[in-house]
Amino acid sequence: MSIDERRAATPAPAARRSRIRRRPGKRTRVVLTVLLVLLVLPAVSYVRALTYPGNASFSVRSVEWVRDHGGSPVVDAVENWYYTRKAPSAAGAPQDSIDLSTPPPAAVHARRHATSSLPRVQLLGSTAPLAGEGVWTSVGVDHAMWQTWVRPDPRHLPVVAAAVLVPKGRMALHLAAGTREPVAGAASPARAEVPAAQRDRLAATFNSGFKLRDSHGGWQLGSTAAVRLVPGRASLVIDRSGGWRIGTWGQQVSMSADVLAVRQNLDLVVDHGRPVPGLGSNAGGRWGTAHTQFQYTWRSGLGVDRRGDLIYVAGRSMTLATFAQAMARLGVVTGMQMDMHPHMVIFNLVSHRSGGDVSMTRLLSSMDAPARRYLVPDQRDFLYLTVIGRPVPGAP
């Protein structure tokens, strides 16, 4: 046997064989460690998202976590696929009802707000109006606000858009930061909920706009903007007395010493009493991501009428164009969209009880966000109204 043959036949030393076996093991451990880190870090992030302070449902927290980690295109695609296929029925009874408080005597009506000054609701000309449709009814604390509803879509008659009108000078409007919006830890006197000191004058609470990263705009409360204000964006402007204006930033509204808060959200959807052109194409993402304008979903908006009174509008199963048409039919002269989708659209009217407690009534029966939302810390920024002066005890 040759020397080479003997070497080939001779077993490798034990130490050498051990090294040969360990090399794959070390590589495996490294790979497993990397995989473990890649799995643990997202898991920790997700747990933090689920436990972050502020009211938000499990599903909302989960979807927002996916968006925050690069999943926005996937979420947008799923939402577009789902909501564009949820067209409402063409005919049938209204799919929603609104709470109608017993109107006060006619003399109180006249004293609160002259009925003749309320916007004339434009009903569908192709179908007979239903009982109460387009009729303004006084609601809320001291019956100081007005409420009505309309069917805005002749192709889908069950769809209902409801509105609450707030006469200027009767209420003060407030913007409050949430625990995560406009930015995590944003300073706000409200501390992500309606302050206890203002609850005896509370009249209503309602949603604000898109998350700031999706709003294409800014957010300011006090002297410093939490998110930089953007020229050209639709803007709700609140002055130091609680009064309001709505318009395009840098054109119809702008900064002054009297401005206390600004909330921007995309572009105007109603201008000069009409839906703005281009809503169907949404060129440049002026009103959200591509194709969101075609979704049949919950939508909300804020506008002002010809007198400057504030009008909140909300409803479900509406495309963006239908919603803008609803705002115009309900008397909005200048209007902006606010938040959209279930869980995000909520308007609560307040009733005061003896002992200082308050009860909340949703504007529309199918709104599914908690009625007492914003009476506890919430993740999203929001708006609320308080009575100027003191409400009548036990009102309404």
- Render each residue's pLDDT in the chain as its tens digit; 396 residues: 555 555 555 555 555 554 545 455 666 766 666 565 555 556 666 666 566 666 777 777 776 766 776 767 776 777 778 888 888 999 999 998 876 544 444 434 444 445 678 999 999 988 899 999 999 999 988 889 999 999 999 999 999 999 999 999 999 999 999 999 999 877 777 789 999 999 999 999 999 999 999 999 999 999 899 999 999 999 999 999 999 999 999 999 999 999 999 999 999 999 999 999 999 999 999 999 999 999 999 999 999 999 999 999 999 999 999 999 999 999 999 999 999 999 999 999 998 876 677 889 999 999 988 888 999 999 999 999 999 876 555 555
Number of Cβ within 10 Å of residue 320's Cβ equals 23
Identify the pLDDT of residue 105. Answer: 45
Q: What gap in Å lies between CA 53 and CA 40, rounded to an integer?
A: 22
Q: Closest by alpha carbon to 303, among 311, 294, 295? A: 311
Number of Cβ within 10 Å of residue 281's Cβ equals 11
Q: What gap in Å lies between CA 69 and CA 36, rounded to an integer?
A: 18
Identify the pLDDT of residue 350. Answer: 93
Q: What gap in Å lies between CA 163 and CA 241, rounded to an integer?
A: 24
257 forms beta bridges with: none
3-state helix, strand, coil in the chain (%, to 5): 30, 25, 45
Q: Going by C-beta distance under 8 Å and a sequence separation of 6 or more, which residues neighbour residue 126?
A: 154
Note if the pTM is more than 0.75. yes
- Phi and psi dihedrals of 151, rounded to 5? -95, 110
Q: Going by C-beta distance under 8 Å and a sequence separation of 6 or more, which residues neighbour residue 329?
A: 121, 122, 123, 150, 152, 161
262 forms beta bridges with: 220, 237
Q: What gap in Å lies between CA 206 and CA 194, rounded to an integer?
A: 11
Tell the residue number behind the tokens 């006469």, with chain if given.
Answer: 167
Three-state SS sequence of 311-364: EEEEEEEECHHHHHHHHHHCCCCEEEEEEECCCCCCEEEEEECCCCCEEEEECE
